[in-house]
Amino acid sequence: MEVTIGVQNLARELVVETEQSAEDVATAVSAALGGAPALELLDARGRRVIVPTSSIGYVEIGTEEQRKVGFGSL
Check residue 63 and give its pLDDT: 81
Residue 73 inside a domain? The answer is no
In this prediction, residue 32 carries a pLDDT of 94
Number of structural domains in the chain:
1
17: containing domain: 2-61
The whole-number mean pLDDT for each consecutive block of 10 residues of the chain, a chain of 74 residues, reads 94 94 94 94 95 95 74 63
Q: Are 65 and 3 a contacting pair, CB within 8 Å?
A: no
On whether residue 12 sits in a domain, the answer given is: yes
CB 3 within 8 A of CB 61: yes
Instruction: Supply the pLDDT for residue 72.
Output: 65
Single pTM value for the model: 0.80
CATH number at residue 17: 2.30.30
Going by C-beta distance under 8 Å and a sequence separation of 6 or more, which residues neighbour residue 20? 1, 28, 41, 42
